Amino acid sequence: MEEQNIIKEITNLKYPLPLMIGFFLLNTLFLPVVLSTILFIIHISVQNWILPLSIVLSGIMTYFVFGRENKTTIIALLWGIICLAFALFICAKTYDFSWDGNAYHKSITGLLKHGWNPLTETFYSYAKQFPFLAQEKETWYDAYPKATELWGAVVYATLENIEIGKAFNILSMIALLFICWSLLHETNVLKKWQSFLCAAAFSINVVIVIQSLTYYNDGFLWEMILLFLASLSYLTFYENGRFKNICYYFIFLSINMGLNTKFSGVIFFGLSGFAFFIFWLIEKWKKYGLLQACKKLSKNFFVLATSVIFSLIITGSTSYIINIIRHKNPFYTMIGEDATEMIVAQISPVFKPLSNVSRFICSLFSQTNNQPAVMQWKFPFTFYKNEILQSQLFDTRIGGWGIFFSAIFLISVIFIVFYLVQNRKKHNKLIHIAIMLTVFTIVSIIVVPGLFWARYSVGLYYIPAIAMIFLCKCINKGGIYVGRYSAVLAVLCTLLFLNHIPSITRNIDIAKETKPVKTKLESLKYVNEIGELSFDYITPQHNFSGRLFNLYDENISNFKYGQIDVNKVDVIFYPQYENAYSYIAYSISTPNRLSDYIKSIDRSKYLIFIAAKDDASAGLTEDVIKSLRELGLKFDMEGAYRNAYVAIVGDAPMYEEKNEQYAVCNAGLEGIEISMLSAGYTGGNTASIKFDGKEYSKNQRGLNIVIYNKELHHVTDSVYVDLYENDIIRR
């Protein structure tokens, strides 16, 4: 009777708020992928209503699963929506500057958004209508799993910004933080703050943080693996726990998303799932016999098997099934004929003679570095200045776990071994699982060639998180060594925080670097309204074709591709890569004559700022005078040899001044300080148009003209006309 009351009391406990939030967020990631794939099956492409429908369905599912606590559920949904909005907002304000993100992830995402159905047409066939994609020939565009790209396409279709589609990294990180926090606190072994600290160590690692503002999906894959392992562990230690059915669903969701993020997910999910199931089987066999063991594990087996089948046949129909149909190989490009050995091909030359295990050890205890021919050992707990920059790369290949990770790893492994030895008689199941996971890790390192590369071996970050759990248990137990355990925990947490600093600062830099790129695109949008844009790659062998979808997002779609004027070239996105990699170049063809240029400006949206330098009276034609006076200006410059002149024009003239020596205008506009100065040849010979102290005038002889967008609140164009020669617009 007492036991029944205890069970009833546990059953009636409120579900933790973080678990509800995590559940909601995971469904906002999962449902768009499943719904889109089902629509593909019935020949319907990505639609803009899938995301809002998925959010509503996620809310409904959360309510019915946790509905007994109506008030808490509503709070959870509100927090879930806030977290979702936060992730979408951050990604909308930052651009993906990564190689892989722009080389193919965004290309796939953009094409999916623009109507590509992978089940009915190949990437290469559909891409023909987009000239900048038509040249892509890599086999993986069609063949690779597409869960993250498909989710990005759904978001892109709804919000019309391809950059927002990379929010899956931030969302998965937040979701797993909340879920791990709830599952750890449920054990009653850790205090609430300890559970949060350990959950953060599990879910927030250098790889996913550095990739969080990109379309790279390695960190996302390992968040799904973490969800899978956490659910399996819960079922192992709390066989009849109240979260049992929720963990079954998490297993289903993680397998579907993980297997359809990268082909390597098959290896990690397969090995870890098999290892846990064998452990369960042996444990039940010893206790109940083989027949009863099979019966007791039938539900676990059903969930695992159903999850795999659904993930391959339904969710994975755009890769596994279509690969079987087209190539008779579900893992086409990964194994078999036409296999693309991406990892092996990109192994640093210094690592190629080494075994997989040697590569892993060398990478773990080397300086963080991405130079292919360099490998330098370092003593743990130390770091070098050059490591900071190298660790800010999106796919650092040597020592990529962070500048302090070798020290973190050593401390963690030593304490885990110490704890397990000290408690070997008390926690047999824990010891057995630790041995099983150790064997799993060693086998993975031996078999899989790329695990020296941090982004392919994110699971290594789980080791310090496990060490932190054991440290917290020892601290909570009390005793004479509490102070020492607390000191070790403090050192571990400090090192983990310091390990994150380069990746955090890199993300701050990305936010700063995005603004000028955004400004450039908005300026090109204006140019696109009055003239013609042409884009091309300077070195076609390194195409970042995904960037061109950023043009579409700024309503720059009627551009030409591959027809740039080499004499009028400028660059966008990656000017810092000019000497090493490809970058997008563009040329502009706008109205040549000043009169045509003036007429093309929509003065309801733009302000025109004019400042003369040297002389603006020579070469005045009737067309020039007429076009300027049609703006409402007096422009009485005929015969005003080397006079100064400034003017501001919107829907009507706002300011105009002519003077023999110099003309000045200082004004405020929507919080922006405007400073204009014009001087003829004898008065100073200058033309300055500044916004908040920044110069925008070309400062050339004749009329210097700056165009300001009133809606976007920034300068969109700057040109000049040298009237001594002609009335042709120049940049």
Q: 149: which 2 tokens?
A: 């790209």
Between 572 and 234, name the one with better pLDDT: 234
The three-class DSSP label of residue 674 is: strand
> Phi, psi at residue 423, to the nearest 5°?
-115, 25
Model-level pTM?
A: 0.86
* Spatial CB neighbours of 23, under 8 Å, sequence gap ≥ 6: 61, 62, 65, 66, 179, 246
How high is the pLDDT of residue 342? 64
Q: Residue 200 and residue 327: Cα distance in Å, rounded?
A: 42
Helices (H), 423-481: 428-447, 462-477
* Percent of the chain scoring above 70 in pLDDT: 91
Any idea what DSSP says for residue 44?
-
AA identity, residue 452: F
Phi, psi of 392 (to 5 degrees): -90, 0
Q: What are phi and psi of 178, to 5 degrees?
A: -65, -40
pLDDT at 7: 35
pLDDT at 5 over 50: no
pLDDT at 8: 37
In sequence order, what are the beta bridge partners of 588? 533
**What residues have CB less than 8 Å from 417, skipping those under 6 apart?**
none
Does the CA dihedral 314-319-322-328 come out positive or negative? negative
Per-residue model confidence as pLDDT tens digits over 676-696: 999 988 888 999 999 999 999
Nearest to 697 by CA among 657, 645, 653, 659: 645
Confidence grade of residue 202 (pLDDT, cut at 50, 70, 90): very high
Average pLDDT, the chain: 86
Q: pLDDT by residue (tens digit) across 210-257? A: 999 999 999 999 999 999 999 999 999 898 889 999 999 999 999 999
Strands 584-589 and 606-614, sheet pairing: unpaired
- Residue 270: φ, ψ to 5°: -65, -50
